[in-house]
Amino acid sequence: MAGIYIHIPFCRKLCSYCDFYHVITQAENKSYVGTLIKEADIRREYLGNENVSTIYIGGGTPSVLSPEEIGILLDLRKLFRVDENCEITIELNPDDIDMVYLQGLRDSGVNRVSLGIQSWRDSDLKLMNRRHNSAQAAAALELTLKAGFENVTIDLIYGIPGMTTADWSSNLDISFAYDIKHLSAYHLTIEPGTVFGKMKEKGMLSEIDEDESSSQFHLLIEKAISAGFIHYEISNFGKPGYFSIHNSNYWKQVSYLGLGPSAHSFNGYSRQWNVRDVKKYVKAVESGSLLFEREELGKKTRFNEYIMTSLRTMWGIDLEYVEKTFDKEGYDYVVNLSGKMVDYGLMKQENKTLVLTNQGKMISDNIISELMLPGDK
Ligand code: SF4
């Protein structure tokens, strides 16, 4: 079961924390959509005979495209073996949509909407330079549900400078009052080179302290679980039957094809990524070629990727899979190193799987790094 990711790199405004590849422009949407279809055609053999179970339109800001353009884009389904019940997700900015827009998306085949709410507090949205305010976020979520989208997910950010645990608690309460089926919640990270990164360098912004971070993360888990969600990946929560197929594929080493500038593709043995420049990307595809870099994944890299992705999920490290795929050497390595994590209460072994405890999830990056084979950290 493979996946397709389509990157729409255009944004109307720069968010202060943003580290994704995007360009601030009102693009030539129609010609860009045509280029994406052309790339899909050139790469139609990439997924072999695998069925496609998920298509994800992300960005940037996919809602700079009209529903008609999304419909044309989704015609690329004809080039692949797409499942009848394929999950088709689009990321939307709350201030881009109205009922006509949403109905148009449903007509084009989109069946899952991801709304970039980020916070219900206007002060946070202003600090992050988001285009929408909390009233627009509420109106957009209500409209999306009213339009008949059953599978709706929202994005929230916590650990924002100035946000208290009480503020975060109220953000969660507001979110869970809606009939959403999925939540992705990310701790804000201040990356170098972003607006926030520059503010931090000048001493104008500082990260929230570790205790506050930790209590916000624990509150997230507690509230999401009591609202009926399953914590199936460090940052992702879904109601039963509503886990993201797209994200789960990434974590389960399933093949995917990435279309558009900067998009990554993976086929089990190699990973490749398109040039991170929209002009160079369009020029290459329009001349019938592709600009990308590729990395062949050796056994060590595949082992480390498996540890990195599986340990973030509720399914954890499957020790039988490790032994079968990475031999006794890989198995012994994991079992020996995980022993002390189990003793410290950071991991637990359930039958033949190793999973993180809530305490372990707090420092998941450190644990993953400990378990990875040296030389590829
Ligand atoms: S909308 Fe998304 S991609 Fe665009 S600037 Fe904001 S965070 Fe970055």
Query: Which of 7, 8, 11, when mutated, tests ligand 1's pocket best, judged by the most ligand atoms within 8 Å of its CB?
Result: 11
Nearest atom in ligand 1 to the alpha carbon of residue 93 is: 1
Instruction: For tokens 């993180």, name the residue.
Output: 356
> Could you tell me the distance, in angstroms and rounded to a whole number, from the CA of residue 24 to the centre of ligand 1?
9
| Predicted pLDDT at 159 | 97
The residue whose C-alpha atom lies closest to atom 3 belonging to ligand 1 is 60
| Predicted pLDDT at 26 | 62
| Predicted pLDDT at 134 | 98
First-to-last alpha carbon distance for the chain, in angstroms, is: 29
Which one-letter DSSP state was computed for residue 78?
A: G
> Could you tell me the distance, in angstroms and rounded to a whole number, from the CA of residue 118 to the centre of ligand 1?
11
> Could you tell me the distance, in angstroms and rounded to a whole number, from the CA of residue 4 to the centre of ligand 1?
21
The structure's pTM equals: 0.95
Structure tokens at 197: 């990164």
Percent composition of the chain: helix, strand, coil (DSSP 3-state, to 5): 45, 25, 35
The residue whose C-alpha atom lies closest to atom 7 belonging to ligand 1 is 18
Query: Which of 13, 22, 189, when mutated, tests ligand 1's pocket best, judged by the most ligand atoms within 8 Å of its CB?
Result: 22
By the 8 A CB rule, do 53 and 87 touch? Answer: yes
CA distance 377 to 250: 19
Does residue 18's CB lie within 6 angstroms of at least one atom of ligand 1? Answer: yes
96's torsion region: left (phi>0), alpha (psi -120 to 50) or beta? alpha
CB atoms within 10 A of CB 203: 7
> Could you tell me the distance, in angstroms and rounded to a whole number, from the CA of residue 297 to the centre of ligand 1?
30
Query: Which of 10, 12, 14, 20, when mutated, tests ligand 1's pocket best, judged by the most ligand atoms within 8 Å of its CB?
Result: 20
Does residue 59's CB lie within 6 angstroms of at least one atom of ligand 1? Answer: yes
Nearest atom in ligand 1 to the alpha carbon of residue 22 is: 3
| Predicted pLDDT at 377 | 42
Which one-letter DSSP state was computed for residue 241?
A: T
> Could you tell me the distance, in angstroms and rounded to a whole number, from the CA of residue 9 to the centre of ligand 1?
9
Residue 226: partners with Cβ closer than 8 Å, 6 or more residues away: none
CA distance 302 to 42: 27
| Predicted pLDDT at 27 | 58
Instruction: Tell me the β-bridge partners of 317.
Output: 354
The residue whose C-alpha atom lies closest to atom 2 belonging to ligand 1 is 60
Digit-by-digit pLDDT tens for the chain (377 residues) are 899 999 999 998 999 999 888 788 765 677 999 999 999 999 999 999 999 999 999 999 999 999 999 999 999 999 999 999 999 999 999 999 999 999 999 999 999 999 999 999 999 999 999 999 999 999 999 999 999 999 999 999 999 999 999 999 999 999 999 999 999 999 999 999 999 999 999 999 999 999 999 999 999 999 999 999 999 999 999 999 999 999 999 888 899 999 999 999 999 889 999 999 999 999 999 999 999 999 999 999 999 999 999 999 999 999 999 999 999 999 999 999 999 999 999 999 988 999 999 999 989 999 999 999 886 54
Does residue 60's CB lie within 6 angstroms of at least one atom of ligand 1? Answer: yes
298 to 253, 322, 325, 334: CA distances (angstroms): 14, 15, 12, 18
> Could you tell me the distance, in angstroms and rounded to a whole number, from the CA of residue 302 to the centre of ligand 1?
30
Q: Which of 162, 171, 167 is nearest to 207 (CA)?
A: 162
Does residue 61's CB lie within 6 angstroms of at least one atom of ligand 1? Answer: yes
Which one-letter DSSP state was computed for residue 144?
A: H
Nearest atom in ligand 1 to the alpha carbon of residue 17 is: 7
